[in-house]
Amino acid sequence: MSQAPALTEPATGSEAADTKERLLDAAEQLFAERGFGGASMRAVTKAAGSAVSAANYHFGSKEELLAAVLRRRLQPVNQSRIEALDRLQAEAGPDGSVPIEALFDAFYRPSFERMSEARVQGTSAMPRQVVARLYTEPPELVQPLRAELFGEVNERFLAAFARTFPAMSERKLRLLQHLAVASMVHVLAGQLEDELTHELEADAAAGEAAHEPLLQAVIAHSAAGARALAAAGEGA
């Protein structure tokens, strides 16, 4: 009796691309729901209607599949952040400084817009859970991914913060950046009370996106904190 041929990746490019997208979609959902440890490659491929060999062909390992899920979700956001920062810096004064509110708007807005798009599509739970997983999975797993995904963005915004607050020490600038990220993660991971979120959305002006009042509140909070941190003593 002849042995059945091993499952291999489809020959045509369109079929291969479709398989890859289905694997990414399934992996995102399972990683979001179960975490990295609870989502096996077999479960991902079953949900995608594919074979383990196809997942290995495209990604090589579960770690690289997780990385691909995060890259697909976050690289467009980071690109939008960098483009917004480029526009601000092109209009900056001779010292290159940009108002802190504008910097936080450039940093936060792309994430709020993507989350709103997901909500309209009925998929907002997944990106929220993905955001949370990026900061709750074991550090040895996610820290290298965070360094890869946010390295350029962090460096660019850290330099921009330094031009806006030239007297602030590097330690304070890094603290400022970490606190800004913490505020964003808390909000985007869905940690606000539903009632408070709905009240803020109800405050949106006619023709304004529902997320705008919350976004402006986060920007105002972060900007005030940045100015307070700049004014405080180094040991504060």
Report pLDDT digits (tens) over 29-54. 888 888 888 888 999 999 999 888 88
Tell me the pLDDT of the chain averaged across its residues.
86
Cα separation, 140 vs 100, whole angstroms: 33
Convert the pLDDT of each residue in 139-193 to its tens digit. Answer: 888 888 888 889 999 999 999 999 999 999 999 999 999 999 999 988 888 888 8
pTM metric for this prediction: 0.84
Using the 3D structure, point to which of 60, 85, 110 is the last residue of a domain. 60
Range of the domain at 5: 1-60
CATH number reported for the structural domain that contains residue 48 in this entry: 1.10.10.60
Q: How many domains does the chain have?
A: 2
**Is the alpha carbon torsion for 159, 161, 167, 172 positive or negative?**
negative
Structure confidence at residue 219 as a pLDDT band (50, 70, 90): very high
* 222 falls within a domain: yes
Residue whose C-alpha is closest to residue 213's, from 200, 199, 195, 223: 200
Structure confidence at residue 122 as a pLDDT band (50, 70, 90): low
- The pair of structure tokens assigned to 9 is 């990746």
Residue keyed to tokens 């491929």: 45
Is-contact 24 72, C-beta < 8 A? yes
* 67 falls within a domain: no
Q: Average pLDDT in the 197-219 region?
A: 92
Structure confidence at residue 123 as a pLDDT band (50, 70, 90): low
Using the 3D structure, point to which of 60, 81, 108 is the last residue of a domain. 60
Is-contact 41 65, C-beta < 8 A? yes
Cα separation, 103 vs 214, whole angstroms: 16
CATH number reported for the structural domain that contains residue 184 in this entry: 1.10.357.10
Specify the pLDDT at position 225: 96
Higher pLDDT, 12 or 116: 116
Q: How many CB atoms lie within 10 A of CB 10?
A: 15
